[in-house]
Amino acid sequence: GAGVSQTPSNKVTEKGKYVELRCDPISGHTALYWYRQSLGQGPEFLIYFQGTGAADDSGLPNDRFFAVRPEGSVSTLKIQRTERGDSAVYLCASSALAQDEQFFGPGTRLTVL
Partner 1 sequence: AQKVTQAQTEISVVEKEDVTLDCVYETRDTTYYLFWYKQPPSGELVFLIRRNSFDEQNEISGRYSWNFQKSTSSFNFTITASQVVDSAVYFCALSDNAGGTSYGKLTFGQGTILTVHP
Minimum separation from the CB atom of position 75 to partner 1 (A): 14
CA distance 88 to 103: 19
Task: Supply the minimum distance, in Å, between the C-beta of residue 69 and partner 1.
Answer: 13
Q: Which is nearer to partner 1, 66 or 104 (CB)?
A: 104
Smaller CB separation from partner 1, 71 or 101? 101
**Distance of alpha carbon 1 from alpha carbon 89, whole angstroms:** 24
3-state class percentages of the chain: helix first, strand second, coil last, to nearest 5: 5, 50, 50
Least distance in Å: CB of 67 to partner 1? Answer: 13
DSSP at 28? T
Q: State which residue, 48 or 65, has the beta carbon closest to partner 1.
A: 48
Site of interaction with partner 1 (CB under 8 A)? 31, 33, 35, 40-45, 48, 50, 55-56, 58-59, 89, 91, 93, 98-107
* Minimum distance from residue 36 beta carbon to partner 1 (Å): 11
The nearer residue to partner 1, 6 or 82, going by C-beta atoms, is: 6
Sequence-separated (6 or more) residues with CB below 8 Å from residue 76: 20, 21, 22, 23, 67, 68, 69
Which of the 8 DSSP states describes residue 101? P
